[in-house]
Amino acid sequence: MFGRPEQTRDTMGPAFLDPDRKGSRAQEFEEMLASRVVGQERAVRVMSSLYQIFLAGLDQRDRPIGTLLLLGPTGTGKTHVVERAAEALFGTSSAIVKIDCAEFQHSHEIAKLIGSPPGYLGHRETGPLLTQENLDRYQTEDNQLSIVLFDEIEKASDSLWQLLLGILDKATLTLGDNRRVDFSHSLVVMTSNLGAREISELISGGVGFAAAKAVKNSTNVTDEKIYRTALEAARRNFSPEFMNRIDKVVVFRSLQEQHFRQILDLELQAVQNRIIHCDGSSFTFQCSDAVKEVLLEDGIDPHYGARHLKRAVERILVYPLSNLIATKQVQLGDFVYVDLSPETGKLIFSRYHSADTFCEIPKPEIARAISRNIPTQSARGIFSAA
């Protein structure tokens, strides 16, 4: 049974194998996640390793496919990575059974998760959330698994903890009416902000763009410390029984300036996708580098993560764009170039009609000249909206 390793036919020596090579599906999954989740490589790798274990059929039958605890500062991508994984596997970010632990503090709220025993008040009013049907709802022929997300677990009540421990340990849950729910095909992800404040202090003493720049090169020095800080906070707050049932703890890094820059490009792409899906006036737009700098300057705050940047994009860019759509100043097929006026510091929006022969990306100088009403040949269909 434990004989010599398999030998190659021509050399009769052992055939060395490559245990680091992933199958194409796990590889594709990892690449898709990596293209959308910035700066959290470990989280991406852990997710794809668990998916690979599932694909290879090596997940343990009486446990969930994987149990993951995601820790780290707010707005650094904990929920985002789970949503992107759902998108990669099932085509939509909402293919997740999500439990916001803060919402289930009392026993009657737990009934919303598992239902009440027959005969109890409210037994038939609304179906419980954690049924087998809800768990299996998004599964496809290729991906017979589900993603279950327990968000902000530090806020979970005692009864929710009991329920969670049962799921992590035995992969089963008994509903109010005694039906059993099987979690052995589920990837159970839990997120928590525990230790986030200490990490934030560790990473940067200040707030804003300057602070973000100051910590630019300190990533490697502090990563180890961040990991230990978060883990210690989790150990202080969570019981050993719980920590013992977690397969992997991933601590998310605080985002650095270069991460914010990449996230900005993703967010601008997301705005473009929203425009493409809006009724009737789908157009394309591009921001100059100067506009990107304005968005970053306003949107980088290491203490609040990428949410602050998203808000800056909405306020500075999406509001005026939505005005342009609502007042029909842009139409289907137009191209809009967004630049910054050096004189006023306001944004200049220049439109190029689809019918125009001018189809190159406009030069900033042209847009500026036009905004100052200097007639040029390519001024047709261009306006300023500072």
Ligand X SMILES: Nc1ncnc2c1ncn2[C@@H]1O[C@H](COP(=O)(O)OP(=O)(O)OP(=O)(O)O)[C@@H](O)[C@H]1O
List the beta strands (DSSP E) in 128-246: 146-151, 172-174, 180-182, 186-192
To the nearest whole angstrom, how small is the minimum distance from the Cβ of residue 316 to Mg ion? 24
To the nearest whole angstrom, how small is the minimum distance from the Cβ of residue 272 to ligand X? 14
Check if the beta carbon of residue 111 is closer than 8 Å to that of residue 122: yes
Phi, psi of 233 (to 5 degrees): -60, -40
Establish if 193 lies at the interface with ligand X (CB under 6 A): yes
To the nearest whole angstrom, how small is the minimum distance from the Cβ of residue 292 to ligand X? 16
To the nearest whole angstrom, how small is the minimum distance from the Cβ of residue 99 to ligand X? 13
- Angstrom CA distances, 187 to 34, 35, 50, 64, 138, stand at 19, 21, 8, 6, 13
What, of Mg ion, ligand X, none, does residue 276 touch, CB below 5 to 8 Å by kind? none
* 5-13, 172-180, 295-303, 304-312 -> range binding ligand X (CB under 6 A): 304-312
Residues 6+ apart with CB under 8 A from 346: 340, 386
Question: Which H or E run includes 286?
Answer: strand 284-287
Establish if 200 lies at the interface with ligand X (CB under 6 A): no
What, of ligand X, Mg ion, none, does residue 146 touch, CB below 5 to 8 Å by kind? none
Residue listed under structure tokens 């009737």: 280
* Minimal CB distance residue for ligand X: 77
* 100-159 residues near ligand X, rule: CB under 6 A: none
SS3 35: helix
Question: Pick from 128, 195, 302, 305: which binds ligand X (CB under 6 A)?
Answer: 305
Question: Pick from 135, 263, 296, 370: which binds ligand X (CB under 6 A)?
Answer: 263
Question: Which is nearer to ligand X, 311 or 380 (by Cβ)?
Answer: 311
Query: Following DSSP, what letter does each residue of 184-201 receive, concatenated?
Result: TTEEEEEEE-TTHHHHHH
Nearest residue to 302 via CA among 201, 195, 193, 191: 201
Question: Which is nearer to ligand X, 312 or 348 (by Cβ)?
Answer: 312
Question: Pick from 66, 75, 115, 364: which binds ligand X (CB under 6 A)?
Answer: 75
To the nearest whole angstrom, how small is the minimum distance from the Cβ of residue 80 to Mg ion? 8
Check if the beta carbon of residue 332 is closer than 8 Å to that of residue 282: yes
Establish if 218 lies at the interface with ligand X (CB under 6 A): no
Give residues in contact with ligand X (CB under 6 A).
37-40, 74-80, 191, 193, 263, 266, 305-307, 310
